[in-house]
Amino acid sequence: MSDFSIGNLPFGVFEDGRGPRAGVAFQDKVVDLAEAAALGHFRDLHLTDLAVFSRPSLNGFIELGRPYWRAVRKRVAEIAHEERLLIDRRSVTMLPPVEIGDYVDFYSSEQHAANLGSMFRDPKNALLPNWKHLPVGYNGRASSIILSGQDVRRPKGQINRGGGSPEFSPSQQLDFELEVGFLVGKNTAIGSSVSAGEAEDCIFGLVLVNDWSARDIQRWEYVPLGPFLGKSFATSISPWVVTLDALEPFRVAGPVQDPPVLPYLRTQGDRNFDIWLEVWLQPERETEPIRISRTNFRGIYWNMSQQLAHLTSNGTNLRVGDLCGSGTVSGMTPDSFGSMVEICWNGTRPLTFPGGAVRRFLEDGDRVTMRGWAERDGTRVGFGELTAKILPS
């Protein structure tokens, strides 16, 4: 079953030798939105600027607002079988869907936070005192966000192996982080804030995120100001943006939040989504990848509306195309953890592959592939693949 069913129709930007332009994924095809606009398919939608579909990012289209996102997606569903608009998806090169001005990474999975707290601090007090009162996050580096398929070079940095002075060397504890991210769909003014109730009006859609992490570099540098060079070397995203409208049938209630959150973080109705997530790992000399994690986004403690409300609560502004990551999504069992440091419990429980490879962290030549999808009553709404290979430092 295709990730890109008629119930999905995610937006992206592609290139096929005739210039970058906007498209919608439908089964194994791309619906060319620039061509659809040229043929007059959107004329009655009163779009103010049809040229938005002929640009190298979706930012201009997104700025038109949610009514236009919905109208265009609905029209694409009506014309998706028109041959003149269809291009074989295998023949195109995908480009970043948006120009990303800012990037925030949250820490919203309770199980992930508890795992790391147990591993590196006190298992009896795994969560820090603030964790259940606010969506913890940090500002990342937007310039190193890359697209699925672009390989990742092993970062170098200061590492302290214990006791004496640090050394400068390639990371020996390179890791992935399985995340879901959302792209901001609205500009706001400095000094204003977005309420949790209206936050979804500011979300264009979702992508898969692999927020790569050099654990040994991060461990030495993060006190007292948090993640820096151990995170900023690369963050990978998937190319197709799945809209909230496509995910509407998959809404679910999130975990009960105890203690109750402050009023500005309270939401009504179901704000989580039943999205299955998988990680596959293939060492260079192994003939096949194996699935090392399967979890679900529905269990995330802090939902996207709360993340966005907290992000803007101090008056910071939003810009169309900004990326917000969920933080690592982990379930309750080792086969549902969303990072190598958890799956292998900081290297103490190594993975063994059929061909004999052993992994505690990622090694050069390893390929990490993530997949995500929602499925119900024969309808599948998927993200496609997010994949990258590790290159030597």
Indicate the burial class of 166 (C-beta count within 10 angstroms; 0-12, 13-18, 19 or more): middle
Number of domains in the chain: 2
| Any domain includes 5 | no
pLDDT classification of 47: cutoffs 50, 70, 90:
confident
Please report the pLDDT score of residue 73 as a whole number: 98
pLDDT classification of 48: cutoffs 50, 70, 90:
confident
Helix H or strand E encompassing 217: helix 215-221
Please report the pLDDT score of residue 253 as a whole number: 98
Please report the pLDDT score of residue 22 as a whole number: 98
Please report the pLDDT score of residue 164 as a whole number: 86
Please report the pLDDT score of residue 386 as a whole number: 98
Average pLDDT for 240-266: 98
Could you say which of 41, 46, 112, 310 is catalytic? 112
Please report the pLDDT score of residue 61 as a whole number: 97
| Any domain includes 319 | yes
Distances (CA, A) of 198 to 186, 213, 271, 300, 306: 11, 32, 12, 20, 10
Spatial distance between the Cα atoms of 182 and 299, rounded to a whole number of angstroms: 17
| 75 in Cβ contact with 45 (< 8 Å) | yes
Indicate the burial class of 62 (C-beta count within 10 angstroms; 0-12, 13-18, 19 or more): buried
Q: Which amino acid is at 1?
A: M
| Any domain includes 3 | no
Are 107 and 60 within one domain? Answer: no
Spatial distance between the Cα atoms of 374 and 377, rounded to a whole number of angstroms: 11
Per-residue pLDDT of 284-338, as tens digits, reads: 999 999 999 999 999 999 999 999 999 999 999 999 999 999 999 999 999 999 9
| 218 in Cβ contact with 177 (< 8 Å) | no
Please report the pLDDT score of residue 1 as a whole number: 84
Average pLDDT for 137-141: 97
| Any domain includes 234 | yes
Using alpha carbons only, how large is the chain's radius of gyration in Å? 21
Please report the pLDDT score of residue 234 as a whole number: 98
Spatial distance between the Cα atoms of 120 and 44, rounded to a whole number of angstroms: 59
Are 222 and 206 within one domain? Answer: yes
Dihedral angle sign, alpha carbons of residues 225, 177, 348, 110 = positive
Average pLDDT for 209-220: 97
Last residue of a domain, one of 43, 63, 95: 95
| Any domain includes 320 | yes
Are 148 and 231 within one domain? Answer: yes
Q: Can you give the residue range of the structural domain that contains 197?
A: 103-391
Are 342 and 372 within one domain? Answer: yes
| Any domain includes 32 | yes
Are 90 and 108 within one domain? Answer: no
Q: How many Cβ atoms are within 10 Å of 349's Cβ, its own excluded?
A: 11
Per-residue pLDDT of 164-201, as tens digits, reads: 899 999 999 999 999 999 999 999 999 999 999 999 99
Are 73 and 30 within one domain? Answer: yes
Are 27 and 154 within one domain? Answer: no
Last residue of a domain, one of 43, 64, 95: 95
Are 221 and 173 within one domain? Answer: yes
Q: How many Cβ atoms are within 10 Å of 270's Cβ, its own excluded?
A: 14
In the chain, the percentage of residues whose pLDDT exceeds 90 is 96
Please report the pLDDT score of residue 85 as a whole number: 98
Cα-to-chain-centroid distance, residue 154: 21
Can you give the CATH number for the domain in which 167 is found? Answer: 3.90.850.10
Last residue of a domain, one of 95, 126, 160: 95
Distances (CA, A) of 57 to 14, 22, 76, 103, 331: 9, 7, 18, 17, 34
pLDDT classification of 163: cutoffs 50, 70, 90:
confident
Please report the pLDDT score of residue 107 as a whole number: 98
Spatial distance between the Cα atoms of 210 and 338, rounded to a whole number of angstroms: 10
Average pLDDT for 99-125: 96
Are 167 and 259 within one domain? Answer: yes
Question: CA 106, 201, 273: angle at the middle one, nearest 5?
Answer: 55
Per-residue pLDDT of 349-362, as tens digits, reads: 999 999 999 999 99
Per-residue pLDDT of 5-39, as tens digits, reads: 999 999 999 999 999 999 999 999 999 999 999 99
Pairing of strands 137-139, 145-147: unpaired
Can you give the CATH number for the domain in which 83 is found? Answer: 2.30.30.230
Res 280 pLDDT > 90: yes
Does 112 participate in catalysis according to the annotation?
yes
Spatial distance between the Cα atoms of 224 and 292, rounded to a whole number of angstroms: 33
Are 112 and 41 within one domain? Answer: no
Res 251 pLDDT > 90: yes
| Any domain includes 119 | yes
Are 120 and 222 within one domain? Answer: yes
| Any domain includes 288 | yes
Are 213 and 318 within one domain? Answer: yes
Query: Average pLDDT, whole number, for the chain?
Result: 97
- Location of structure tokens 């995910």: 247
